[in-house]
């Protein structure tokens, strides 16, 4: 993926995935799990890929070509945003804030909800 085209978003908005892939061919589980594991390590310094990676981690049992394509998009996003980083500066007056949201049964396979949290240091 060293010569791939970078992209500006880690995952397509409102993307619907299925655990069974709707009859798509399976891909190498070891490769898929290896890429997911490497991205899990990267998410410690790149929280912008956390949600996308969490969604794609659901399909490690039986990944298909569409799952691998979505993971490759995350890799393309990382390539296009290599200059992004977390910077924490020392401040004397720090305020902590936060937001949360839920999508209420968006997962089409098992109707489970996903909750997201955003913590802000100002």
Name which of 58, 55, 51 is nearest 101 in CA terms. Answer: 51
Please write the tens of the pLDDT for every residue from 27-43: 999 999 999 999 999 99
Structure tokens given for 103: 């999508």
Q: What is the mean pLDDT of the chain?
A: 87
Q: What is the token pair recorded at 16?
A: 């619907």
Question: For residues 45 and 36, what is the distance between their CA atoms, to the nearest angstrom?
Answer: 15
Question: For the segment 28-81, what is each residue's pLDDT rounded down to a tens digit?
Answer: 999 999 999 999 999 988 889 999 999 999 999 999 999 999 999 999 999 999
Question: With contact defined as beta carbons under 8 Å apart, do 101 and 115 qualify?
Answer: yes
* Domain boundaries defined on the chain: 21-121
Per the CB < 8 A criterion, the answer to whether 11 and 55 are in contact is yes
pLDDT at 86 exceeding the cut of 80: no
The reported pTM is 0.76
Q: Tell me which H or E stretch contains 99.
A: strand 96-102
């Amino acid at each position: 993926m060293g010569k791939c085209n970078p992209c500006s978003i880690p995952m397509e908005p409102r993307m619907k995935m299925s655990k069974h892939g709707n009859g798509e061919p399976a891909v190498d589980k070891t490769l898929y799990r290896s890429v997911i594991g490497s991205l899990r390590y990267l998410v410690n310094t790149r929280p912008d890929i956390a949600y996308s990676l969490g969604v794609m981690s659901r399909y490690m049992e039986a990944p298909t070509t569409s799952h691998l394509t979505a993971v490759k998009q995350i890799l393309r996003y990382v390539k296009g945003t290599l200059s992004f980083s977390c910077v924490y500066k020392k401040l004397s007056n720090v305020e902590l804030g936060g937001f949360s949201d839920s999508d209420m049964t968006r997962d089409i396979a098992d109707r489970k909800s996903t909750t997201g949290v955003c913590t802000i240091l100002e």
